[in-house]
Amino acid sequence: MREQNHPFQFQVSSCMAGFLPKNLHLVCVDMPGHEGTTRSSLDDLSIDGQVKRIHQFVECLKLNKKPFHLVGTSMGGQVAGVYAAYYPSDVSSLCLVCPAGLQYSTDNQFVQRLKELQDSAAVEKIPLIPSTPEEMSEMLQLCSYVRFKVPQQILQGLVDVRIPHNNFYRKLFLEIVSEKSRYSLHQNMDKIKVPTQIIWGKQDQVLDVSGADMLAKSIANCQVELLENCGHSVVMERPRKTAKLIIDFLASVHNTDNNKKLD
């Protein structure tokens, strides 16, 4: 897993990985509740807990024998940013795609709705945890600028797959929006010292794009890329563009040639 001796650790949608050079060695880490990860009641699901678990994984595989490039999106972006702050010697450069964990001066409509749900204890109505085809359609519209026309049968299938795990998703969600975790990236962003790339969709309805400027003002060596006609699901809506931005950034930071055969 080397690109000029830099491991390339990835927390992104697999649909984007297909647009990355085949000679890059990627390590893709499923976050809690995603794909085949275990769901233990003993796991610390806070951002700190997730960061420490990723570090255990890195040390177990000895991925940090040489510093690596770290990428994360949304919750994974929050984890990646805090990781870079906690373990600076592990990371050579960083890419945060619409990361969570920032403190905004004004709440957007989505966050206002979340706070209302928390105040009323109606956690079963969290917009990112759908229980019906209608709620699944609403979630897709919330996360994406492009309006996909998804057949009712597909929506039902997507919901049926998720429903058995919804209690876990709620537990995870409530943990990362708790006082302990909610602003952990904001609280640690000034500790990030490696070259950093921020990628954000301009039409993000989940996490406001103004977060990119917030990070740029706190991280000394920071490059911001804002994508037009793109919502929160950046790596799904614009996988080819996102992959190119990341590879170009990686090449510029580490003075590599993308056409060169990679180790």
Q: Which residues are catalytic?
A: 74, 204, 232
Minimal CA–CA distance to 77: which of 252, 239, 233?
233
Q: Are 18 and 239 in contact (CB under 8 A)?
A: yes
Considering only CA atoms, which of 164, 162, 121, 126 is closest in space to residue 142? Answer: 126
Q: What size, in residues, is the chain?
A: 263
CA atoms within 13 A of residue 100's CA, in its CB half-sphere: 17
Q: Name, in order, each residue with C-beta under 8 angstroms of 172's C-beta and a sequence gap of 6 or more.
A: 32, 33, 45
By the 10 Å C-beta count (0-12 exposed, 13-18 middle, 19+ buried), 112 is classed as exposed
Residue pair 230/238 in contact by the 8 Å Cβ criterion: yes
Judging by beta carbons within 10 Å of its beta carbon (0-12, 13-18, 19+), is residue 261 exposed, middle or buried?
exposed
- Beta strands in the chain, from DSSP E residues, in sequence order: 8-10, 26-28, 68-73, 91-97, 196-201, 222-227
Alpha-carbon distance of 37 to 43, in angstroms, equals: 11
